[in-house]
Chain A
């Protein structure tokens, strides 16, 4: 397991692993009935499709929306929460809370 985890050191290898795992799961989908409790047959590989395309579309939507929704840190008011500087220097280790 550890040797395997060490082997996955580049994104390419990670993509390869995920693709192989995905292919195996999709092949299994053809053999196993994935809708045992619903009388009529559902869409095959629905979960794979939803996972890949559904999420992909949502993520692209997010990519498009970002510039519209993103505002500077002091958008609401100077000194609002996001505008308050955090950072290692401001962490108070004795009370454990960021000042």
Chain B
């Protein structure tokens, strides 16, 4: 069992902690490669069953769906390892291996308890990729990230316990919205997969992590959640609407943001929306589309994060307001960035063209016309906010006075390899289609598809250029764009102290009033009932009798009614 893919990586992480610098960098390449080998050696089926805490656990379940995610995770980790060859930071390197292992364990988990353990594992390991920046802001961001990720894990635990209570099963197969437990599990998956309103940790954390950390983070957490959705909630209608909103809402933010890594985080959020729609539709074609798009998105988003990271490595900035005209200084990075950008734009001969249209077509075939239009609009916008804007502002816009040189050799290799895979999938779609889990006939290259996609790209480019010329798309001042995190980062921290201090004041005022009222009562009682006061004086029998008679009369009269 120690040779199962997740354990190879976790073991490597443990060993990594005690190795010298270059050995650690080497292990970052060797461990994902070994995990990939190990994964490919498994036959389909359930492996490594064990009983713990009274549960029957299935530690490794390999089938068509989990296998392709495991493969792409190890490839992504390998590429990220090449990209991070220069890193000499024990914390980051150990965290990267442990994080990859946890994500791998998550997609191979055959039951919900095992899934939960790995689910929390990804949260705990990945937060160190943010903390490795070692700045106060990164510490704070990491803490927010951890709280949200752990909340997702806690919801998963609560959900699985309820599900177990209702059904007596912890199997991680199709769940659907069958009971309260599975609803909670869906919310847990939704947090990790950045559903609208649950999304903000993504845009908060990814720009805060280290250059190399963001590359590996972008590949794993959200795609593990997409896998979990595809496994548990295929064909759940509500996901179609959620996915459509998710594809659309990040557009405006991606167009406005100044920090390019945040632009990419929004862009990725929108791409995740396509995958969620695919899961919601739940046909063989749409699920294949989800998986294919997850694979392609890991590659081209990783590539884009790498090229922006390389620029950041050389210039110290990933801000549109501080970059420009770097094409001459970093030509190869620029070309790789263009390949990634063209891939997300679904340019023919590149990976996005092959994968994106599967989900979009499935929405049309199943009659979800509004969703289909939303996805088309989101594709059009992706061409602009990532496909054109990201390479344009870094490499081709007005040159600024920046000293920079080409990315280091290992970064160039990593970017070239990722770009090569994007081209490979684009030119030979069968290389990806052969790995997809379901049987669905889909022809990527048809005259109609190429024509319509080229139309879209050319017209978006035209609109973009015209808008930039009119000054309607230029950066209007820098600064953060308020998103939903304004609620928990600004409003609650502002309102809560006011509320608390207000309540405190009110409580003190009320206390004083009660005290004075009680004091008055006490003084009154003292006045009439103290030993030498009026009530305590010696009373005559006659007047006592009179009082008794008056009281008895009052009782009698009260009884009449």
Contact = CB atoms under 8 A, between A and B. Distances in A.
Given A22-B462, A34-B452, A60 B472 contact: yes
Contacts of B86: 95-96
A12 to B, nearest CB: 9
B132 interface: yes
A80 B140 contact: yes
A6 interface: no
Contact of A71 (B208, B319, B468, B482): B482
Given A18-B465, A59-B473, A62-B256, A51 B141 contact: no
B89 to A, nearest CB: 6
A60 to B, nearest CB: 7
B448 A55 contact: no
B376 A70 contact: no
A34 B364 CA distance: 13
B141 A32 contact: no
A11 B465 contact: yes
Contact of B136 (A15, A47, A76, A79): A79
B443 to A, nearest CB: 10
Interface residues of A, number: 66
Chain A CB within 10 A, most for which of B132, B256, B317, B479: B479
A89 B372 CA distance: 47
A98 B314 CA distance: 10
Contact of A56 (B87, B252, B467): B467
B459 A22 contact: yes
B319 to A, nearest CB: 7
B68 interface: no
Binding site of A, secondary structure by majority: helix, strand, loop or mixed?
helix
B519 interface: no
Contacts of A54: 376-377, 380-381
A95 B89 contact: yes
B429 to A, nearest CB: 17
Contacts of A81: 137-138, 141, 207-208
Contact of A97 (B132, B458, B460, B476): B132
A52 B462 contact: yes
Interface string A18-56: 110110011011001111111000000111111111111
B313 A96 contact: yes
Given A18-B462, A47-B376, A50-B380, A76 B252 contact: no
B476 A29 contact: no
Interface size class of B (residues with CB under 8 A): 35 or more
Interface string A53-85: 111101111110111011111011101111110
B137 A79 contact: yes
B522 interface: no
Nearest to B83: A96
Contacts of A29: 451-452, 455
A51 B451 CA distance: 13
A37 B452 CA distance: 14
B464 A58 contact: no
A36 B448 contact: yes
A50 B364 CA distance: 16
Q: Most B CB atoms within 10 A — which of A11, A25, A77, A84?
A: A25
Contacts of A21: 458
B211 A98 contact: yes
Given A54-B377, A63-B472, A96-B86, A15 B259 contact: no
A80 B482 contact: no
Question: What 6 A-B pairs have minimum CB-CB distances, sorted nearest first?
Answer: A91-B316, A51-B459, A52-B459, A51-B456, A47-B452, A47-B456
Interface of B: 86-89, 132-138, 140-141, 207-208, 210-212, 251-252, 255-256, 258-259, 312-319, 322, 361, 364-365, 373, 376-377, 380-381, 383-384, 402-403, 446-448, 451-469, 472-473, 476-482, 489-490
Given A15-B462, A15-B465, A69-B481, 9 more contacts: A48-B455, A48-B458, A51-B455, A59-B384, A60-B472, A86-B316, A91-B316, A95-B89, A98-B133
10 contacts: A11-B465, A34-B448, A47-B459, A51-B463, A55-B377, A58-B252, A58-B255, A70-B480, A80-B140, A86-B319
